[in-house]
Chains A and B, each alone.
Chain A
Amino acid sequence: MSTAAETVAGGLESRDLEAQVAPSRAPRTRLIFVALWAALIILTVCSLLFGRYNVPWQSWWQAFAEPDSAGLAGIVLLQVRLPRVLAALLIGGGLSVSGAAFQGLFRNPMASPDILGAYAGAGFGASVGILFGFGIVGIQVLGLAGGLAAMLAVWFVASAATRTGGDPTLTLILVGIIVREAGMALIRLAEYVADPHGKLASITFWLVGGLAAVTPHDLEFAAIPILLGTIPLLLLRWKLNVLSFGEDEAKALGVSPWGIRIVIIVCSAMISGAVVSIAGMIMWVGLVIPHLARMVVGANHKALLPASFLIGSCYLLLVDDCARGLFALEVPLGILTSLVGVPFFLYLVFRTRMERA
């Protein structure tokens, strides 16, 4: 008798519970994406409009329809501003997506390719390319190789160190710092042996990080690896959720982690190599933007990766506009992203402490 009553009560309870469930957040997420796309389009148009040289509205149509006869307006729009805007968009998006993927891969919200030394590795590869006077493709391939080597070094050393015990977050970051310092030392070596009247200046200038020197030609060659790196990461984004629960759980959930890990590391190296070769070391974007994106759309990588791309694109467009227009003299973009990134990182460190306390 009592069991029958309990069953009925249980049934009623579960139906009540169903009524209590708030609908899923999917519609809200969709709205956020509409807003992000709108922001990106508006920022892109504004960034094209913005600059010392005022392009009159009439010239716009002409510049895009008949670029040859558009004159100075056409050159400013198509040769100078458009490549720069597209580069900012792709680089901001690519760095942010690879940062978000890294955080999922290493199960560590403090991870990103720049913190873990991938840019330093890519930077060394690219400086060797500049040193030997290679073209953009050669510089990129060396950048990719350097980034890949740095990431594999971090991966193997950190997993070996974690196996012997210790806090995995701390170990990872320490190993990342060590690899980054090794990369930076090698970069300084490349600078030291560079010809002081020619290549030294170009290595130093390029390392600071910036988009001032991006040509349509550079963009063509960098866009391909950035997109080739970004698209697989976006496609694998759901599986990243599973991976972030750790190796054993991912396997028990039917997902083989190794294939995904390799794709993430190779794709991130490709993005880092391409970005570093055309724009130098643009730090902190890959760490900061995924956090912002997580605050906006939540932790699920399915929404997090595309949101990171869009927010990263907007962010870098905005920072690059500041770099161009804040002062009479252009401020290197890499310096601005670091000035924004460092306090944000500190904020993250303190927030994590607070949560643990």
Chain B
Amino acid sequence: MNISVDHVSSGYRGKAVIFDISLALESGEVLCLLGANGSGKTTLFKTILGLLRPMSGKVFVDGEDISRWSRQRLAKSIGYVPQAHTPPFAYCVRDVVLMARSVYSGPFASPGKRDIAIAEESLDRLSILRLANERYTELSGGERQLVLIARALAQQARLLVLDEPTSNLDFGNQMRVLRHVKELAQSGLGLLMTTHFPDFAFLCASKVALMKQGRILAMDRPKDTLTQASLEEAYGTPLRIVDAGLGIHVVVPRLN
């Protein structure tokens, strides 16, 4: 399965925020989207998820133009993992994950036994089945983020779009989320995620797209995309890239 974004411009109220974006994502890949605040990452996400209609260009899933797809069909192909949030009601974790099953039932139906089994299996895949009866609103940020990933898994989409899944998490939880992201790609899902930390792209991405002011500056393997020059241009701050061994690179910023 694959998504390809073909020369897409998109924005709000007739004003484009991203311009002429092209990228592709295959099953088994992690595509990391990097860029300063306001560089258009969220707009690109919303366009891929069908929440915004592109002003020009097209988004294809497996070669098919998604602009005519129904919400249901799109939801069965692309799952969305928002940033960990606090909904107004204290649903239990099992119910939060079960909501992903709505797309497989009619408007008046509630999830059945099979849906519950799928939801619990998704929780188990992320090793958080023990939280099934907890209240979602009372979990830590890291746990909530994992629950939202489990929900996207229960949706049984082959492509996942993750909006800054590591933001607001402590270091340990950030690594846990990244480990799961990597595992899910290895199991054959395609993942598109945004992050504010170039280091994370080095850790788990198979491809990186670096965005600036609504355009893609560079897109390739992390080592080739994230160079001192490109990162300095994208973020406007001096830095160095250090080889930490084991094939891992780290960005070392300079404050003076």
Contacts and interface: CB of A to CB of B under 8 A. Distances in A.
B53 to A, nearest CB: 12
Interface in B52-87: 71-72, 74-76, 78-80, 82, 87
B40 interface: no
A241 interface: yes
Nearest to B134: A22
A299 B87 CA distance: 11
B132 A241 contact: no
A254 B94 contact: no
A135 to B, nearest CB: 34
A245 B90 CA distance: 11
B89 A109 contact: yes
B102 A108 contact: no
B71 A238 contact: no
Interface string A3-33: 0000000100110011011101100000000
A235 B108 contact: yes
A298 B110 contact: no
Given A242-B99, A244-B89, A245-B87, A14 B127 contact: yes
A302 interface: yes
Given A24-B116, A249-B80, A300 B95 contact: yes
A13 B127 contact: yes
Nearest to B110: A238
Contact of B132 (A21, A235, A238): A21
Given A14-B124, A24-B94, A252-B80, A244 B133 contact: no
Contacts of A351: none
A220 interface: no
- How many of chain B's residues touch chain A, expressed as a range? 35 or more
B178 interface: no
Interface stretch (B43-51, B166-174, B190-198, B242-250): B43-51
Contacts of A238: 102, 105, 109-111
Nearest to A20: B130
A298 B90 CA distance: 7
Nearest to A237: B110
A261 B210 CA distance: 39
A109 B100 contact: no
Interface string B122-137: 0010010110110000
A252 B79 contact: yes
Interface string A208-229: 0000000000000000000000
B69 to A, nearest CB: 11
B127 A253 contact: no
Given A254-B102, A299-B89, A18 B129 contact: yes
Given A17-B124, A17-B127, A108-B88, A253 B103 contact: yes
Contacts of B105: 238
Contacts of A298: 90-92
B71 A17 contact: no
A207 B95 CA distance: 41
Contacts of B39: none
A10 B179 CA distance: 13
A226 to B, nearest CB: 19
A66 interface: no
A276 B57 CA distance: 52
Query: For B50, B80, B105, B110, which residue has the most chain A Cβ atoms within 10 angstroms?
Result: B110
B130 to A, nearest CB: 5
Contacts of B14: none
A17 B129 contact: yes
Interface in A96-146: 103-104, 107-109
13 contacts: A21-B133, A103-B88, A235-B108, A236-B108, A238-B105, A239-B102, A245-B99, A248-B49, A248-B82, A254-B72, A256-B71, A299-B89, A299-B92
The 9 closest A-B pairs by CB, nearest first: A254-B75, A254-B103, A252-B80, A299-B89, A235-B108, A238-B110, A254-B72, A107-B88, A299-B91
Interface of B: 46, 49-51, 71-72, 74-76, 78-80, 82, 87-92, 94-95, 99-100, 102-103, 105, 107-111, 116, 120, 124, 127, 129-130, 132-133, 155
